[in-house]
Amino acid sequence: NELQLIRKALDALGEQTELAGFTEPVSLSVVKSTLRELLTTSESGAGRFLSGGVTCCAMTPMRSIPFAVICLIGMNDDAYPRPHQPVGFDLLAKRFQRGDRSRRQDDRYLFLETLLSARRVLYLSYVGQSIRDNSVLPPSVLVSELLDVVDRGFQTTNGERASTQLVTRHPLQAFSRRYFTGDPRLFSYAREWIEASRQAGRGELDKPPLLTGELSEPEPALRWVTLETLTRFFRNPARWLLRERLGVQVDEGEEALETREPFVLDGLENYQLLDRMLDLHREGRSVADIETIMRASGALPHGQVGECLFAGASERVARFAGRLGRVLPRRDTKPLEVDLMLGDFRLTGRLTGMTASGWVGYRLAKIKAADYLNLWLHHLALNVAAPEGVARQSHWVAEDQDVVLDALEHPQALLKTLLDLYWQGSCRLLPFFPKSALAYVESFRKAQEKGKEADPDKALWAARQVWEGSEQRASLAERRDAYYQLAFGDVDPLDSAFTALATAVFEPLFETMDANS
């Protein structure tokens, strides 16, 4: 094949020489340049296959030769497998029998051949959004089947579908800011779009932050803080400032009345069901009594669907209660009263869940940023307020892991730092977002566990993924919180102040966890 291309190029060179009628000698560089041009451009539309470099060719059967990278472009739903409209006199199509050739089956086999030929990368591209109304367009049925196979054969640590990690949805505009955020899956070589992206990011329609300066210092009464208030503040400092200082209550809209029977519980309803069942289980109620109470309260769908849901939930509750019972007995324990003076602040509260080994907290769900904050604040209060003879260890029980924190040497300084941040957040907007901050600090921690040098850019990118969300789970983006949207507008708040706050809040917690391990 390649030898034939060389011969054709030499023949073409001879023909051009005869047509030119030029008989004077020429330099070798002229001949080399002409041959190079003929070899790289000739026969480009003839479907050449093994010509080196990047080969653009049609999909043809029996080409199952390994390639490092194979790209299939245009794998749209209506394009592949190729549609076949038989003519009216085609008797084979009218009386199709087993063994007759099928173009659709040929295309399926050809796709499988291509899949087996890719050694390093298989790139599949299709038009996924309508140019008219931006509605979602499905890919080829073969691509959908491939993604289904991936979902059945693999699972992710966070419970998402494995195929979501393989699909990249591109923005509609070439100047989208997502192309210039450092995401290795979304990038651009076009320098001219960088400035357009910046202009789009600070366009006239962008909303500025609600507060650009500081408020007047709050009343001294706010220096008397309860442990519950401090926890609520760090879960969402923007919401606390807007509600407590400005009296702003964001209307998040009324819930629409359901128009059909609930056969499946959403995330919140499922958590509330599990939480209530766990309380009843710890009270010593039987499984039958718990099911009766849940059905009477309307927490379970009717019929067999409700029975299946209850059976699965009951198994989870029993398994979790068994783990929890080993560290937190059912009998009531005497709570520890907290009343501390830390500088100008007075911190009060009550630590329930005290045992002989310290404080125990729990939640029947995977551990999240709010749980880490709850654990850390209670652990600091315990270590400062615990009298002699009271253990200063904290234990958090989650569905996916247990976290144990031992006694601290200087808890007052750590707690005072958080109280100072609380006071700052009472005067101005603090760019602290628990989920994104946790992702930022965890990125450093994972790098250290692998013995690698921590990369601040990668850590910030991990935080931005949580802040902005993914294409498949955009509704879970932390930035969609109504109070964050009102407080920060369209300004990107993940700056140096954010990284400093994330480090100040979460790094001491993880240092304590690492010391325990």
Q: 191-235 pLDDT, tens per residue?
A: 777 766 666 555 444 567 788 788 888 888 899 999 999 999 999
Q: How far does the chain reach from its first CA to its final CA, in angstroms?
A: 63
| 238 part of a folded domain | yes
Cα distances from 118 to residues 112, 113, 123, 128, in angstroms, run 10, 9, 9, 23
Provide the number of structural domains found in the chain: 4
64 — pLDDT class (breaks 50, 70, 90): low
Q: 276-302 pLDDT, tens per residue?
A: 999 899 888 899 999 899 888 888 888
| 423 part of a folded domain | yes
- Tell me phi and psi for residue 349, to 5 degrees: 165, -175
Residue whose C-alpha is closest to residue 295's, from 313, 283, 282: 313
The mean pLDDT of 352-377, rounded to a whole number, is: 93
- Domain match, 33 and 145 both: no
- Domain match, 228 and 364 both: yes
Most confident listed range (60-69, 158-167, 323-332, 383-392): 383-392
Cα distances from 405 to residues 200, 223, 443, 503, in angstroms, run 46, 28, 21, 18
- With 80 as the cut, is the pLDDT of residue 470 above it? no
Q: 324-363 pLDDT, tens per residue?
A: 988 888 766 788 999 999 999 999 999 998 988 899 999 9
Residue 472 is predicted with a pLDDT of 60
- Domain match, 415 and 457 both: no
Q: 400-441 pLDDT, tens per residue?
A: 899 999 999 899 999 999 999 999 999 999 999 999 999 999
Task: Please state, in angstroms and rounded to a whole number, the distance separating the CA atoms of residues 126 and 107.
Answer: 16
Residue whose C-alpha is closest to residue 375's, from 357, 362, 356: 362
- Domain match, 362 and 222 both: yes
Q: What dihedral angle (degrees, nearest 10) is formed by the CA atoms of 168, 172, 175, 181?
A: -30
Residue 201's CB is within 10 A of a number of other CB atoms, namely 15
Give the three-class secondary structure for 340. Answer: strand
Q: Are 372 and 389 in contact (CB under 8 A)?
A: no
| 323-349 core/surface letters (b: 16 or more CB in 10 A; e: else) | ebeebbeeeeeeebebebebeebebbb
Residue 46 is predicted with a pLDDT of 45
- Domain match, 437 and 390 both: no
| 21 part of a folded domain | yes
The mean pLDDT of 104-112, rounded to a whole number, is: 83
123 dihedral zone (left: phi>0; alpha: psi -120 to 50; beta): beta
The mean pLDDT of 452-458, rounded to a whole number, is: 80
Residue 15's CB is within 10 A of a number of other CB atoms, namely 10
Which residues pair with residue 337 across a beta bridge? Answer: 350
| 178 part of a folded domain | no
- Domain match, 419 and 448 both: no
Distance of CA 467 to the CA centre of its chain: 9
The sign of the dihedral angle between the CA atoms of 358, 363, 367, 373 is negative
Residue 204 is predicted with a pLDDT of 47
Residue 116: CATH number of its domain: 3.30.160.800
- Domain match, 421 and 448 both: no
The mean pLDDT of 116-127, rounded to a whole number, is: 89
Where are the strands (E) in 293-435, listed by range?
Answer: 336-342, 345-351, 354-355, 358-362, 394-397, 402-405
Residue 294's CB is within 10 A of a number of other CB atoms, namely 20
Residue whose C-alpha is closest to residue 383's, from 356, 361, 407, 364: 407
Tell me, what amino acid is at 142?
Answer: L
- Domain match, 243 and 370 both: yes
Domain boundary among 375, 399, 429: 429
Q: Are 499 and 392 in contact (CB under 8 A)?
A: no
Tell me, what amino acid is at 289?
Answer: D
Residue 111's CB is within 10 A of a number of other CB atoms, namely 21
Token code pair at residue 111: 């796709």
**Mean pLDDT of all residues in the chain?**
83
Enter the pTM of the model. Answer: 0.62
Please name the helix (run of DSSP H) or strand (run of DSSP E) that holds residue 67, with its range, or none: strand 67-72
44 — pLDDT class (breaks 50, 70, 90): very low
Residue whose C-alpha is closest to residue 291's, from 265, 270, 324, 313: 313
- Domain match, 231 and 111 both: no
Residue 450 is predicted with a pLDDT of 76
Task: Please state, in angstroms and rounded to a whole number, the distance separating the CA atoms of residues 4 and 67.
Answer: 22
| 154 part of a folded domain | yes
| 172 part of a folded domain | no
Residue 45 is predicted with a pLDDT of 45
- Picking from 11-20, 98-107, 239-248, 467-476, which range would have the lowest pLDDT averaged per residue? 467-476
In the chain, % helix, strand, coil (3-state, to 5) comes to 50, 10, 40
The angle formed by the CA atoms of residues 362, 227 and 435, to the nearest 5 degrees, is 60
Distance of CA 186 to the CA centre of its chain: 15
Where are the strands (E) in 297-398, listed by range?
Answer: 336-342, 345-351, 354-355, 358-362, 394-397
| 343 part of a folded domain | yes
Q: What is the DSSP code (8-state) at residue 254?
A: P
| 196 part of a folded domain | no
Give the range of the structural domain holding residue 423, as residue numbers without chain letter: 218-250+309-429
- Domain match, 324 and 245 both: yes
- Domain match, 328 and 373 both: yes
- Picking from 49-53, 196-200, 271-275, 307-311, which range would have the lowest pLDDT averaged per residue? 49-53
Q: Are 397 and 324 in contact (CB under 8 A)?
A: yes
- Domain match, 233 and 346 both: yes
Residue 376 is predicted with a pLDDT of 96
